[in-house]
Amino acid sequence: MKNKKIYIIIGIVAVVIIGYMLLRSNSSTAQQTPVENSGVVGTKVGDTAPEFSTVTSTGQEIQLSDFAGKILVITSTATWCSTCIVEAKNFVPVYTTIDSDEVEFLTVSIDPSEGDA
């Protein structure tokens, strides 16, 4: 069972890397056709993502619109979750090789010891 989780995590990371590489190669070799924004707020391709805001661990308030024009990878994690820790370690090589002008990582941490759970 543990090996299956690792393969799933590796698969997710691989999809992110491949997607990023395809995006980079397409943008440099051909004109991309943007997806038309339907104006509808939702989760389907072409929909406008629902706006949200949160406060970072440093107290800074951020919102989804702060990342407009960038690819935003949102992950959730918890210090007590062993699968989350493995996933976070797998993101390190991806994070260090990606251009932060184009891609942002936003990790939502869930930790009951902080008092908000």
**What does the pLDDT read at residue 84?**
82
Identify the pLDDT of residue 29. Answer: 45
Assess whether pLDDT exceeds 60 at residue 36.
Answer: yes
**Fold (topology level) of 2-111:** Glutaredoxin (3.40.30)
Range of weakest confidence among 33-47, 70-84, 89-103: 33-47
Give the residue extent of every domain in the chain.
Answer: 2-111
Residue 94 pLDDT exceeds 60: yes
Q: Which of 20, 16, 25, 12 is nearest to 102 (CA)?
A: 20
21 against 103, higher pLDDT: 103
Averaged confidence pLDDT in the chain: 74
Question: How many CB atoms are located within 10 Å of the residue 77 CB?
Answer: 17
Q: Answer yes or no: are the C-beta atoms of 112 and 105 closer than 8 Å.
A: no
pTM of the prediction? 0.54
